[in-house]
Amino acid sequence: MKQVRYWTLILAFCGWGQAFAADNVVRIGGGTKTGEYIHIAQSVCDALGQLFSCQAVETSGTLDNKKRLEARELEFGLAKANVAEDWLKEPTFGAHYSIVRRIGDESLFVFGRPETLAAVGSWTGVRENAFLLSIGLPGELSGDAAVFNALKGVAGSPLVNAEVKMYQNRPALLEAVRTGAVKLGFIAQVPNPDNALFKSINDAGLMIMGVVDPDMITFGETFRVKAVTVKNAKWLGLGGSAQQIETANVPVAIVAMKPEALQGRAAMVQQAAIKKIQEVSEASLLPRQGWMQQLANTASLKVGPSLDHVFHSMATAAQGAKERLQRM
């Protein structure tokens, strides 16, 4: 009897599929038009298929997506994985939302004037001399700010000594770094080699540098160090483009409203959408560009000799950073 009821429900669901799509739109919060989150959101929509009426919504990023989820303006939202995991520790949020999938990678970078990056030498030089530096972030609701604040919030982190300035968006931050209003800009960016942001950094006469922070180890697999390729921008130590940088990467979390937080058809649509997202391959959820697929398949550097070598090289490059910065 239970089997009959089960298949009756399945057949009913299939027959009502078009009605669900018409009456209930699945909305996925992405990010700004200058980032990659909006493209990932669109790719997730595409992966859901024709059964679902899906909209990729342009937002300000991770923290804005949380606000919109809580306001019931979204059914799904993309977020930095480490930040989303902190959200679930909040009793009210955790009761109504969950992480249904982690996909892809966002790479961490700082960018600045060539002389500033040469002075700090590496991210270790930034950490050890944070009291001499100002770091800009592209908005309080940006995912960039969320990741930086997570690093700064680790007990004993020297980043707490840095002067932090907020800007309206990434173009405003880039202009502030170019004019010297702030020493460094901090960004978390899916490393599309042809991303317009990297070209803008290069056109402004600025350079980029990878971020590998020892405190990231406390976050476990949420942060992973990989070699990524950056085109259209110069990075510290080399004059050419399309060079590899070893930097930390944060997976993208797909955060969803729990079906039980909804009612009627909306709950059934949400449950079906979550199931679909969990079942399809990661490749199907990511944009089809070769660089995105390649990054997803790139092995991470783990705690051990390979990562120890990175930290040693960064420490060597940072030697004398304090004196160099004080002379600027």
Let me know whether 245 and 255 are in one domain.
no
Which tokens hold the place of 12? 């009913």
- Supply the DSSP string of 9-73, one letter for each residue: HHHHHHHHHHHHHHH-EEEEE---TTSSHHHHHHHHHHHH-TTSEEEEE--S-HHHHHHHHHTTS
Q: Kindly indicate the confidence band of residue 25, based on its pLDDT and cuts at 50, 70 and 90.
A: confident
Let me know whether 227 and 322 are in one domain.
yes
Residue located via tokens 């001399």: 129
d(CA 257, CA 27): 11
Let me know whether 28 and 60 are in one domain.
yes
Q: Is the pLDDT of residue 188 over 90?
A: no
Q: Which residues form the domain of 320? A: 106-250+299-327
Which of the two residues, 1 and 183, has the higher pLDDT score?
Answer: 183
Let me know whether 155 and 263 are in one domain.
no
Let me know whether 118 and 154 are in one domain.
yes
pTM of the model: 0.73
Residue 180 CA: distances (Å) to CA of 49, 124, 174, 291: 48, 21, 10, 33
Q: Which of 277, 272, 287 is nearest to 255 (CA)?
A: 277
Let me know whether 223 and 321 are in one domain.
yes
Q: Kindly indicate the confidence band of residue 23, based on its pLDDT and cuts at 50, 70 and 90.
A: low
Residue-wise pLDDT for 70-128, tens only, equals: 999 999 999 988 889 889 999 999 999 999 999 888 889 999 999 999 999 999 999 99
d(CA 245, CA 236): 9
Distance of CA 86 to the CA centre of its chain: 14
Let me know whether 118 and 164 are in one domain.
yes
Q: Which of 159, 156, 188 is nearest to 173 (CA)?
A: 188
Which of the two residues, 187 and 224, has the higher pLDDT score?
Answer: 187
Let me know whether 140 and 51 are in one domain.
no
d(CA 173, CA 127): 20
Let me know whether 223 and 145 are in one domain.
yes
Which tokens hold the place of 300? 């991470």
Let me know whether 39 and 175 are in one domain.
no
Q: Kindly indicate the confidence band of residue 20, based on its pLDDT and cuts at 50, 70 and 90.
A: very low
- Domain containing residue 31: CATH number: 3.40.190.10
Residue-wise pLDDT for 153-179, tens only, equals: 999 999 999 999 999 999 999 999 999
Let me know whether 26 and 97 are in one domain.
yes
pLDDT of the residue at 308: 83
d(CA 121, CA 30): 34
Number of domains in the chain: 2
Let me know whether 308 and 255 are in one domain.
no
